[in-house]
Amino acid sequence: MKIAIFGLGYVGFTAACCLAHDGHEVIGIDVNADKVSEINAGHPPIKEPQVGELLTEALGKGLIRAVSEISDLSDVDLAIVCVGTPSSTDGSHNMSYVAEVTRQIAEAVSPDRARPLTVAYRSTFRPGTVNQLVAPIFRSALGDRFEAAVEVVYNPEFLREATAVQDFFAPPKIVVGTRDGKLSQVMDLMHEGLDAPVFYTAYEEAEITKFVDNTWHAVKVAFANEIGRVCHKMDVSAKKVHEIFVSDTKLNISPYYTRPGGAFGGSCLPKDVRALQHISSEIGAHTHLIDSLLRTNEAHKTSQAQDIMARLPADGRVLMVGLAFKAETDDLRESPNVDIARRLLQGGYQLSVYDPEIEPADLRGQNLGYAFTHLPTVGTLLVDKATAEAGPWDLVVASNRIIEGLDLGTAEIMRTYEYD
């Protein structure tokens, strides 16, 4: 393919060299004339392992060149936008470079192309940017011919500096956002030969991917450093603790506990987080991330309770399926479902609960104390399977997978244990 890359920073220049290595003809466009001259002379504008060798190889084969502007995209198959989105003073992304490049591409593309020009954006976008900023610019310039002339794609990159070339050829995943979530032949050709899971989505899911990934990386770094401070101040080997922690790929380093859904609860997590907060406070470790965990968990329970109430009429009849913090247990200690049930009762709603594992007479010790302290009417709320299935209910709140064992007909179901 013939590929034009707008923006020759770390992402754009690395992509240019790697795509030329794959045999594509690449034109790099950057407003910095000095950078353009350096590239054409064989001097990489960035310090990054392997790009120098790839640039020399591509120049030798005549597969790469850099220019300051391009006015004709008639023979280009794919345009990749890699311009910067720096932070504005309020923390939002400055999208002026993206808007300007989009305008330039819109003016350079012919509305009468035999096949659409695929324009792939790799700059980090907030969800909605393609539909609310990029598409209107193209539509303004091309009118009714927009969708016939341009295929807009959002294709986030996952390159780490110092390993960018390696990451380009061995990405952790490939994410492609398209107008209808369907395949793009041009993007499939660009990614041909790469061994990675591929996800085609609508624009918004692809756009938020980098935010989720990078914020999670930041959480991991902050968490690791807070644990490191605690260990350091207690003369505990943080290195050994880390070795033990990452050895657990079943729970610690795994998909577990990362699915968006219900708040955490039970006898372990809240108790142990509070204890670690206390330890940290005593020794002056200042673990602000850990200190925020219980607050954000409470905020999540409040949010879910509000979402439930918003879907109920006044005095509505609601069935909660699952009261314990997890299916197939009767542990009610700090179950977020107990807290949500209490809020529903306080709101005047007619609440019933189906949880076949809970028998009030069998509750013991702290489990008994917590249940009757926070939900003293629990015994009167419980219903059997026949009653649960008979209804009618204004809303069924499924708090765990017990719902899969019920036949609720056409009842409206809200699953709080997972987000769709």
What pLDDT is recorded for position 84?
A: 87
- The ranges of the chain annotated as CATH 3.40.50.720 are 2-206, 213-299, 303-415
* Tens of each residue's pLDDT in the chain, 420 residues: 999 999 999 899 999 999 999 999 999 999 999 999 999 999 999 888 999 999 999 999 999 999 999 988 999 999 999 998 887 777 788 899 999 999 999 999 988 888 999 999 998 888 999 999 999 999 999 999 998 999 999 999 998 888 899 999 999 999 999 999 999 999 999 999 999 999 999 999 999 998 889 888 888 988 898 998 999 889 999 999 999 999 999 999 988 888 888 888 887 888 888 888 888 888 999 999 989 999 989 999 999 999 999 999 999 999 999 999 888 888 888 899 999 999 999 999 999 999 998 998 888 888 888 888 999 999 999 999 999 999 999 999 999 889 999 999 999 999 998 876
In sign, the C-alpha dihedral spanning 139, 142, 144, 145 is negative
The domain 2-206 having CATH identifier 3.40.50.720: the answer here is: yes
Whether 13 contacts 44, CB under 8 Å:
yes
In sign, the C-alpha dihedral spanning 222, 223, 224, 225 is positive
What pLDDT is recorded for position 218?
A: 80
What is the CATH number assigned to the segment(s) 303-415? 3.40.50.720
Which H/E stretch holds residue 73? none
User: What separation in angstroms does the CA of 92 have from each of 87, 88, 95, 138?
Assistant: 6, 5, 9, 23
What pLDDT is recorded for position 160?
A: 86
Distance CA 157, CA 174 (A): 8
Distance CA 115, CA 346 (A): 61
Q: Which CATH number fits domain 213-299: 3.40.50.720, 3.30.565.10, 3.30.930.10, 3.50.40.10?
A: 3.40.50.720
Distance CA 87, CA 98 (A): 13
What pLDDT is recorded for position 338?
A: 94
pTM: 0.80
What pLDDT is recorded for position 88?
A: 77
Candidate list 17, 82, 231, 268, residue with the active-site label:
268
Whether 323 contacts 341, CB under 8 Å:
yes
* Residue 410 CB burial class (10 angstroms; 0-12, 13-18, ≥19): exposed
231 tagged catalytic: no
Indicate the pairing of strand 150-154 with strand 64-67. Answer: unpaired
